[in-house]
Amino acid sequence: MPDYRYRPGELLVHADDCDAVTAPLAAAGYREAGGAGRTRLFTGGRTPVPDQLAALSSRRVSPNHLYTSDRIIWGSLRPRCTEDFLEDLPPLRSGDRVKVGVVDTGITRHDGAPHPYLDGRVTSTPEDIDPVVPDRDGNPTGSDGHGTFVAGLILREAPHAEVIMKGVVDRSTGDIEDLAVAHAITTLGEQGAQLINLSFSGHTWEDTPPLAIEDALLSLPDHVVVVAAAGNRGSTQVVYPAALTLGEHHAEVVAVGAAQVVGNDPATVATFSNHGPWVSAYSDGVDRTGPYFVPGYPTTCRHDDRPFTGWARWSGTSFAAATVTGRLAAVMAESRITAREAWAALKDEPEDTGAPNKIRVHHVNGEQVCPLVRPR
């Protein structure tokens, strides 16, 4: 099993199982220290997390997993300079707007305002701002700008959507943890988000569902759809939260891989994209253009000497997922249907445009035919 990442000295326990495991956890030095929803956090243990998990028979105990936007491991997946840009969005329509929740790095701001492409279309709080952490050359590090780029791709597909951004990245490490994600999902549900985009991924203990995130998703109404990135390691190994399956009476999780899409030619799975029977759909995730900081910053691009222009080209399943989220929001608004109904319509879309809407994927378990969601 691939290594999984987690917070040392922290365990998550479902509230229903606290009575059964509190005593053995206390004997190992763990004490309850809050939590999110019905998931309780225990901290301070003397026994290492893997050893403590092995000693417990209950499967409702889990590490506090750490995730990443998972793009810096591939040099080609760094943001690149571009002369391209997205056309201005149309004026907002009056009336109800589809609420789309995004759990990500937050929104970058310049002089107190987000990128002009997002202005007036993204809701956030001061806690949801993506702080710029410069390197020694003054350019951003880590996943800075990721949330802005994701939000931009959603709005490109659904310009009249309301994006509610929740910034959950640890400001010091760049990590994303189960509890922070769970709290963000719960908050988005309370705010009426009908779609939620999760453009990050990671491996988990024994490939088991992450307890806190799963519990938060189970609390959402069954008409909600959660779109999650399948990850960028070119593997068939399951990653979470994309591989979560909640059942027909709960929100639906759509795992999205990245495809290479050129015109009406048959699409292929991007070389960096995870794939396998647990992936629900694919969309274009190669060299997507989206909003990225402001003209002149970053001052240099890793691939050439030009400064950025306020836009970038970026590749990854993060952006394939954002495209699917945006298309779902657009279908919901146009047809006045739920997210689950929009997903059913989108994945079964007839091939009346001359462009194939399926993609053939080969993996260790054979061939799979998956929906291909093309950008508009």
Residues 136, 25, single domain; the answer is no
Residues 136, 57, single domain; the answer is no
Residues 258, 331, single domain; the answer is yes
Q: Give residue-wise pLDDT tens across range 143-184.
A: 789 999 999 999 999 999 999 999 998 766 778 999 999 999
Q: Give residue-wise pLDDT tens across range 280-324.
A: 999 999 999 999 998 888 877 766 667 889 999 999 999 999 999
Q: Of 182, 180, 198, give the one whose Cα is nearest residue 190.
A: 182
How confident is the model at residue 2, as a pLDDT? 60
Confirm whether 346 is domain-assigned: yes
Q: 361 and 374 in contact (C-beta within 8 Å)?
A: no
* Active-site residue set: 104, 146, 318
- What is the extent of the structural domain holding 34? 6-65
Residue keyed to tokens 């301070």: 44
Residues 188, 165, single domain; the answer is yes
Q: Indicate the average pLDDT of the chain.
A: 90
Instruction: Count how many domains the chain has.
Output: 2
Residues 236, 340, single domain; the answer is yes
Residues 56, 151, single domain; the answer is no
Q: Highest mean pLDDT: which of 19-33, 124-138, 289-303? A: 19-33
In single-letter form, the type of residue at position 191 comes to Q
Confirm whether 91 is domain-assigned: yes
Q: Which residues contact 370 (CB under 8 A, 6 or more apart)?
A: 257, 279, 280, 281, 282, 358, 359, 361
Confirm whether 84 is domain-assigned: yes
Residue 72, pLDDT > 50, answer no
Residues 58, 81, single domain; the answer is no
Q: 62 and 177 in contact (C-beta within 8 Å)?
A: no
Residues 82, 61, single domain; the answer is no
Residues 12, 134, single domain; the answer is no
Confirm whether 169 is domain-assigned: yes
Confidence of residue 73 (pLDDT cuts 50, 70, 90): very low
CATH number of the domain encompassing residue 334: 3.40.50.200
Residues 222, 105, single domain; the answer is yes
CA 24-28-33 angle, to 5 degrees, is: 85
Confirm whether 70 is domain-assigned: no
How confident is the model at residue 172, as a pLDDT? 64
Q: 130 and 167 in contact (C-beta within 8 Å)?
A: yes
Residue 218, pLDDT > 90, answer yes
In single-letter form, the type of residue at position 66 comes to L
Confirm whether 359 is domain-assigned: yes
Residue 74, pLDDT > 60, answer no
Q: 143 and 169 in contact (C-beta within 8 Å)?
A: yes
Q: What percent of the chain has pLDDT over 70?
A: 94
Residues 153, 14, single domain; the answer is no
How confident is the model at residue 203, as a pLDDT? 92
C-alpha distances (whole Å) from 21 to each of 17, 39, 45, 204, 217 are 6, 13, 13, 21, 24
Confirm whether 286 is domain-assigned: yes
Confirm whether 1 is domain-assigned: no
Residues 44, 179, single domain; the answer is no
